[in-house]
């Protein structure tokens, strides 16, 4: 078991680096706008492109991880991330900056699914939720590094040295992964790799998508993690500086609330759902209801929102990251091990599709309203409402699926009790 933890720690460090690169525009956005000479909508395209590439790559990544193993994919991820960040460090044109962020999106897309696939192979099911939550917590350290520390480096050594060194360190770390990561525990034989046929590949993805538990995981992820992502990856600092009138140093410090809130909430959430799987959906529902109330208060507050309100509000919104990990636990529970990578990729698409839509929508509305953040951030409320509705639909369908399996005497991941509002199995 000690070896399993060492392998996981090595792989989790890759995710830390990926999150750092992903969220670096959270504090670099204003400097990027000046460096590339662009407005809010064009600035939003950096995140839209990166996250869009990330989302589009999730299902292919899941298939690649299931076929070639996490170590090779993590190595490719580090090399791609490093190349993208080096390219961004040297870019002076908007077009080249977009290309760099697109390359970063590809490298980022290869990391999280690979780490979770390693966890599924090296840890028993009961520990999987905890390891998943710890992986997310490790990633938030990268997020933390991309707040105040990165802001200080950008104001000191500057754009090119900061991002150039980050890219080189990332490339060098690939050698550590090659030497220390093993795809399977000792004594377990890897399956023979067969040529991939497009028809079989499509069949595997369709089999994963037809599973109601996978779709429930997708909508859980969609609904919970996009708002913290949008704020930490791009619009948090502009909202606090331009929309609320806080100094940039205060805005950068406020973003660390998301990091510490997620780091504290991740292991706690993992421990709870590991011991009590039946609490997974109540936790998600409680978070979504609370997040809705928070946005109602923040967007209706007259004038500058006081720090005494922003800090706890951001801390609670930060729990969307830990809550989104429940989607991956659902993917593992409802799919066999040889399809877990693909299922994890499918679920991971959810939150990043929502992030792409929300980030682009905020940027467009800022342009149309002349920088009115109160109106622009209503996009987040709309995405939250839509995702919550779809999640409820698939929660009911998953419950119906479990009732049918229970009636057939099959083993199911979570025992459920029929309620008055439960219905017979619904068509997909």
Range of the domain at 63: 2-184+199-407
Tell whether 189 is covered by a domain.
no
| pTM for the structure as a whole | 0.75
For residue 417, being part of any structural domain is answered with no
pLDDT digits (tens, 9 = 90+) for 49-86: 887 888 888 878 877 887 888 999 999 999 999 999 99
Instruction: Please give the Cα distance from 89 to 106 (Å, whole number).
Output: 17
Tell whether the model's pLDDT for residue 427 goes beyond 50.
Answer: no
What does the mean pLDDT of the chain come to? Answer: 85
With beta carbons less than 8 A apart as the criterion, state whether 22 and 170 touch.
Answer: no
Residue 414: inside a domain, yes or no?
no
Exposed e or buried b per residue across 283-307, where buried means at least 16 C-beta atoms within 10 angstroms of its C-beta: bbbebbeebeebbeebbeeeeebee
CATH (domain of 274): 1.20.1250.20
CA distance 351 to 402: 25
**Spatial distance between the Cα atoms of 358 and 53, rounded to a whole number of angstroms:** 15
Q: Which residue has the higher pLDDT, 31 or 387?
A: 387
Measured CA to CA, the distance from residue 351 to residue 72 in angstroms comes to: 25
Residue 427 in any domain: the answer is no
Q: Pinpoint the alpha helices (H) of 211-247.
A: 212-230, 236-238
For residues 27 and 321, the model is more confident at 321
* Closest listed residue to residue 161, CA positions, set 90, 98, 230: 90
Most confident of 110-114, 134-138, 403-407: 110-114
What pLDDT, in 10s, does the model give residues 118-131?
888 888 766 777 88
- Residue closest to 390 by CA, chosen among 132, 202, 212: 212
Q: Per the structure block, which two tokens stand in for 18?
A: 């990926």
Number of separate domains in the chain: 1
Is 315 among the domain residues?
yes
């Amino acid at each position: 078991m000690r070896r399993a933890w060492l392998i996981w720690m090595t792989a989790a460090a890759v995710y830390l680096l990926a999150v750092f690169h992903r969220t670096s525009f959270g504090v670099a956005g204003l400097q990027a706008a000046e460096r590339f000479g662009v407005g809010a909508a064009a600035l939003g395209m950096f995140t839209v492109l990166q996250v869009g590439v990330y989302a589009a790559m999730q299902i292919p990544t899941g298939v690649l991880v299931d076929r070639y193993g996490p170590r090779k994919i993590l190595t490719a991820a580090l090399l791609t991330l490093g190349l993208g960040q080096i390219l961004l460090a040297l870019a002076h044109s908007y077009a080249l900056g977009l290309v760099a962020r697109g390359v970063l999106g590809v490298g980022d897309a290869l990391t999280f699914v690979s780490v979770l696939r390693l966890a599924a192979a090296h840890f028993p099911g009961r520990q999987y939720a905890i390891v998943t939550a710890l992986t997310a917590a490790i990633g938030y350290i990268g997020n933390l590094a991309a707040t105040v520390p990165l802001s200080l480096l950008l104001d000191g050594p500057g754009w090119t040295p900061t991002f150039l060194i980050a890219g080189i360190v990332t490339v060098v770390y690939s050698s550590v992964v090659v030497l220390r990561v093993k795809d399977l525990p000792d004594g377990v034989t890897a399956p023979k790799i067969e040529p991939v046929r497009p028809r079989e590949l499509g069949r595997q993805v369709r089999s994963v998508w037809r599973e109601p538990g996978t779709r429930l995981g997708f909508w859980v992820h969609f609904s919970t993690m996009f708002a913290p992502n949008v704020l930490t990856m791009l619009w948090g600092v502009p909202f606090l500086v331009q929309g609320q009138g806080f100094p940039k140093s205060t805005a950068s410090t406020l973003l660390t609330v998301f990091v510490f809130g997620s780091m504290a909430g991740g292991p706690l959430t993992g421990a709870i759902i590991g011991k009590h799987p039946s609490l997974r959906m109540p936790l998600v529902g409680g978070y979504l209801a609370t997040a809705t109330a928070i946005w109602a208060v923040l967007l209706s507050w007259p004038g500058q929102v006081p720090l005494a309100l922003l800090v706890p509000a951001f801390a609670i919104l930060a729990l969307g990251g830990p809550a989104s990990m429940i989607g991956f636990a659902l993917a593992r529970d409802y799919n066999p091990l040889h399809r877990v990578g693909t299922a994890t990729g499918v679920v991971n698409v959810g939150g990043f599709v929502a992030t792409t839509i929300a980030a682009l929508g905020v940027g467009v509305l800022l342009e149309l309203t002349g920088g009115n953040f109160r109106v622009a951030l209503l996009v987040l409320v709309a995405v939250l409402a839509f995702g919550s509705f779809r999640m409820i639909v698939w929660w009911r369908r998953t419950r119906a699926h479990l009732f049918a399996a229970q009636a057939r005497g099959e083993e199911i991941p979570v025992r459920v009790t029929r309620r008055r509002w439960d219905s017979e199995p619904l068509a997909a």
